[in-house]
Each structure stands twice: as structure tokens, then as C-alpha cells.
Chains A and B, each alone.
Chain A
Amino acid sequence: MVSLAEMKVNTSGIIKQLGEGAQFRAKMHSLNFRIGKRIKIIGKSILHSPVVVEVDNTRVAIGTGMAKKVFLEVIDEDPSHGQSECR
């Protein structure tokens, strides 16, 4: 498992774990960052700028500090991205 902040651009992963804190998790859930969700990294940060990811056809910007608290399992690059798969 790696954190979202460590993932490379254009790779995808499945969220396996979210950091502690009810507030944090509630916030994550509001934009559909949930365990089992597939995420693709669109843009990586330079100088601590936010990470831009794709979740369900939507682009979301997430600050690096928060990105460090989202853990994923990297999956192979799959051309059929944007698939909405739900557990």
C-alpha cells in the first residue's frame, strides 16, 4: 500500500484505507473517496501543490497533507479508466 501523495501520475489505485478522524473521513466521503474506490492520478504536486485525481469521471484536487492520509493499492495501468466500480 502507498499513500496517494506517493503515487505516480497516470497510475490508478484502489483505496484501501483512510486516515483517522471522523471529520476527515466525512470530508473524504463527501467527494466519494471511499474504501474500494478506484482513483487515477491526473496531476502530481510540485512544491506541495495539490494532487489532482479522477474519481468517477470527476476531477478532484486534494491537498498533499490529506493525500498522505489516503492509502491505496496500485493496480496495473488499465486503458478502461473511469470505470465506476462499486463494492
Chain B
Amino acid sequence: MKILLMGNPNVGKSVIFSRLTGAHVISSNYPGTTVGFTKGRIWLDGKEAELIDVPGIYRLQPLSKADEVAVKMLNEGDVIINVVDATNLERSLYLTMQLLEQGIPMILALNMWDDVKHKGINLDLEKLKEFLKVPVVPTVAVAGEGIKELVAHITQAKAPHIHPHTDEERWVDIGKIIKETQVITHRHHTFLEKLSDASIMPYTGAPLALLILILCFAVIRLLGESLIHYVMDPFFYHLYGPWIIKLVKIVFPSGVMYNILIGNSTNFIESLGLLTTGLYVPFGMVLPYIFSFYLVLSILEDVGYLPRLAVLADTIMHRVGLHGFAIITIVLGLGCNVPGALSTRVLETRREKFIASTLLCISVPCMAQSAMIIGLVGRHGLRYVFLVYGILMLIGIVTGTILDRVLKGGSPEIFMEIPSYHFPHVGALLKKLKMRIQEFLNEAVPLVLLGILIINVLNAVGFMKFISFLAAPITTRVWGLPQEVIPAMIIGFLRKDVAVGMLEPLHLSVKQLVTASTVLTVYFPCVATFFILLKELGMKDMIKATLIMVTVAITIGGMINFLWW
């Protein structure tokens, strides 16, 4: 049996999914968190059933790729759990009607049931059941309330016979249902609602946004640095390091294997050994920042701040051919470009997706890379880190403006629901954090190790020297960098964090470090992002995007080199 979890965006489908399956999926407080479908298994009366978390839709006529995914899933479903935001019943009923017309058995989960009273809404459950002729179960998914009842009702799902309605007829029916089941009483705005309005108004919202972003950066950096300084570095340099070196020496006193495993430096970034750099970069340098970044991001997401940021950024984003929602692509991309790239599915046109993806690759360094930039460039002063970010932002705006002018078609406008602020649910938040860290470790560690192994092999056979020699004209003449940065750029295709780390033994000047860090961000996406984008954009657009990246990289590297005082 296949059970579909369907409903409007941001009603808590993914939370219910995690609750039902025990599987972990990312859920946040903004529409469009789920863009592909996730499958899980649950047990029903001793039988196994498949549960599918479907992206949120408002109607069965798709407007975006995420919508298409959702509508396609309908053909496969045996039962629908229709998740409805109880505080927003009227709007949810439109999709509910459409789903009922499909003739697939349904049960209704009235989620966010706890908010109904706060919002001054009175709902008559019995009457609602009467009208819809399907089981209705109130739930508070984040707290796990009503989940058991929901499971118990799945087998009682019903498919009342309904003829296909016209739009007009549906709204008439909905009007009737609402009139009979729902009474809304007046109440005063709560503090959170006032804060909510203040954070979207341009005059109060913009300073607030700036404050929040500064605060976020400060927390991420402070937490990240502290973890490195007080936990990771002591562990690697005083405990693990001496121990592993001793251990490897027993087996391989010296020679090729010793060099591959440990390397030839006491600095764990420089040594390029599998067991030193290979573990120190992902765990010692990047993980602390991944942890602190995703902690902060998860809080922002679950509180519901991101849609407000989208509204505020709308004007600026229009200049680069996008609208406010694309800020979510950027924010997610700052963590890892892969979820950033996936989030472009919510954007409606091919043009928007192309611009958003290209800008993501060009000017958004992922946290793994940022951690290394902060580590290496930050040593010369935090202002150089900001310089790198400033340059990246600038080329993003310039490239975006040009793309907006050159590409045909206009950019659609923002039209999005702004969810209420919620106090984050600590349990759910920590679970999400854990999941994202796990994802990072699963993806990053093998690739980092592979990258370092490749460097060792290519170095040994002299390939690096050869390719560096070929690329020397651009690196030395245009960028003012030694040709030894070329191996870093080759490895950058695999992992950008390792690539930035490979600049360490070159002892570059500040200017060169800034140039190299910028170029390493812009020139090409990492392999994981590349393949996601290839799938999302198609071969033709990806080639175009890549050409833009390479052009921008060569140009910006040259500009920094020649304009630096």
C-alpha cells in the first residue's frame, strides 16, 4: 500500500512524516522545504506500507517543478493523508476538494491544532467530518500529539463519491463548509505577530535584518572558532596526532606509505596525509563551522524568519533577475550548495532557475569552504575575509544584472505566504541539526580522503607539475599566483575545503590568498553541486552556466591582481 502525505506548503507534512516513520527529513517554517519526495515505511496492522512525503501544493494544476513532482505522485497513491493547517482551513479546503474528486481514499490531519485557539478560531470537528465524509484527526505534529490517532485512522480512509467540480462550484461548497464549521472571534495581536509585522516593514525590517545577520555571523564565528581552538585543535595536535604518527611509524617507518598516510609536515593542513589532513580538514576545521552554521540556520528556519528576509530582499533580487524567494537559495547555499541548488525547483521559470543556479555557483561559498577561508585568510585579519565576501557579492550583483539584461523574459514576482513566527521545537531542531551534520560527514569525509589520495598519486606521477605548467600563463600572468595553485583548483572540483587548504603550504601573500580564495569559489562548482545542477538545468544550460563561471573567474582574479594597491 502506498500512502501519500499531501497538503498545502508549510503545513507540517514533513514533521508528520518524521513522526510516522521515525525517518529524518528536513522540515522548516517556510513554504517549499520539500522539493522532491521522500519515501519511508510504516507498519499498519502488521503489514508494511510505504509512506511518501509529497512537496506542498495549493492546487493540482502545477506551477513549478516541485508542483509537478507532487501531482505525478497522485497516480501512485492508494491512500492520502491530507494535512491541513487548522488555522487556515478555508484555503486548504480547495486542494482538499480537488483531492476528493480524484476518488482516492483520504483522511484529514488538522495540524497546528494548538494554534487554533490562540488565533481566536472555533472549529466544529463533527460538522467538518459530516461535510467531508472522511475521518478528521486533529494533530500537533511538532509535539507528537494526535499521531497515534492518525495512524489508527489510516485504514478507515474514505473516498466519498464526488463528481468533478468546476472552480466556481468548489468555492461555493467551501463557502458553505466554512460558514457551518468555523467561527472566528476578534482578538488582540500577540507580541509575536507585532514582531512579525515589524520584521517585514521596510523601515523596521531592514535594520532588524542587518542586526540579525550580524548576530548570526558573530555567533557562527564565535562558536566555530571556540570549538576549533578549545576542542578540535587540542585533540588533533596533542592527542590524536602524536598517537597516529607513532602508530603508523611502527608499520611504515618511512617511505611512500608513510608519506601517503601521514605526510611530511607537522602542520596538519600542509601535510596532505590521509590520516592527518584527510581527517583534520573535515573534522578539525570544517565540522565546527558546519555545526555552528546549521545550528543558527535551523533556528532561523524554524522560527520562520527566512520568508521575511525574502520579502525584504525582493527589491535587490529583482535587479539580478530573481525575486525575493531566491534569498533562500543563497542562505541554504551558504551551508552547502547542493540543497541551495535543489531549492531552485520552487522557482517558476527556466530563466529564474538558470540565473539563481549560476549566481549560486559564482558568489556563494559553502560553509566548508568558508570555514577554510576564515581559517587561512582570517589569520591576516578578519577584514580580508569580509573582502572576499564583498568581492563575491559584488560579482554576483554585476553578473546577475548582466544576465537579467541579456536573457529574454522578465522575472516573475514574489507571491508567497509568510508563516507566523513559531518558537522552535527543541527536539525537532536538534534532530534536524544532527541530520545535516550526518549528511555532511557522509558526503564530505569520503570525498576529502579521495581528494587527498588523488593529490598524492598525481604528485607522484608528475601529472600536477605538467598541468600546472600548462595553466601557468593564466595563473601567473593574469592572477599573479604561483602555478602551484593549479593542483588546488583541480582538487577544488572534488572538495573546495581541501582546495583552500592546499593553499597553505604555498605561503601566499594576503593579496594572493584573497585572489585564490575568490577564484576557487567562482571558477567551478564542486562535483556534488555540478551533478545536481546538470540534472536540474540540463546539459545546455549547464554548459552556458559553466562558461559564465570560468569567464567571471578569470576576469575577477585578474581584476584583484591588477587593482590591488
Contacts and interface: CB of A to CB of B under 8 A. Distances in A.
Interface of A: 23, 26-32, 34, 42-43, 45-50, 52, 56-66, 79-84, 86-87
Given A61-B415, A80-B186, A84-B178, A32 B90 contact: yes
Contacts of B324: 50, 61
A50 B311 contact: yes
The 9 residue pairs across chains A and B that have the minimum distance between CB atoms: A63-B413, A30-B58, A59-B418, A86-B175, A32-B91, A61-B311, A49-B315, A43-B201, A80-B186
A25 to B, nearest CB: 9
B90 A59 contact: no
Contacts of A49: 202, 311-312, 314-315
Contacts of B94: 29-30, 32
A23, A32, A48 pick with most chain B CB within 10 angstroms: A32
Nearest to A43: B201
Contact of A58 (B175, B186, B417): B417
A65 B196 contact: no
Contact of B167 (A29, A62, A80): A29
Measured as residues with beta carbon below 8 angstroms from the partner, the interface class of chain B is 35 or more
B178 A52 contact: no
Given A57-B121, A83-B186, A84-B90, 19 more contacts: A29-B58, A29-B167, A30-B58, A31-B91, A31-B415, A32-B91, A43-B200, A48-B315, A49-B311, A49-B314, A50-B314, A52-B200, A57-B87, A62-B413, A62-B414, A63-B414, A63-B415, A86-B174, A87-B175
B65 interface: no
B416 A47 contact: no
A56 B200 contact: no
12 contacts: A30-B59, A31-B415, A34-B171, A43-B200, A43-B202, A52-B418, A56-B88, A58-B418, A59-B417, A61-B418, A79-B186, A86-B90
Interface in B126-182: 167, 171, 174-175, 178-179, 182
A61 B414 contact: yes
Contacts of B312: 49
A63 B311 CA distance: 9
Interface string B172-206: 00110011001010100000000011001111000
A65 B260 CA distance: 60
A23, A32, A61 pick with most chain B CB within 10 angstroms: A61
A60 B415 contact: yes
A58 B418 CA distance: 7
A61 B91 CA distance: 16
Contacts of B201: 43, 52
Nearest to B310: A61
A56 B120 CA distance: 12
Interface string B300-336: 0000000100111011001000011000000000000
Nearest to A37: B90
B61 interface: yes
Nearest to A83: B184
A26 B196 CA distance: 27
B63 interface: yes
Interface in B79-93: 87-88, 90-91
Contacts of B19: none
A82 B414 CA distance: 23
Contact of A26 (B61, B182, B184): B61
Nearest to A42: B197
B41 interface: no
B327 to A, nearest CB: 12
A86 B87 contact: no
B24 interface: no
A29 B59 contact: yes
B208 to A, nearest CB: 13
A42 B198 CA distance: 10
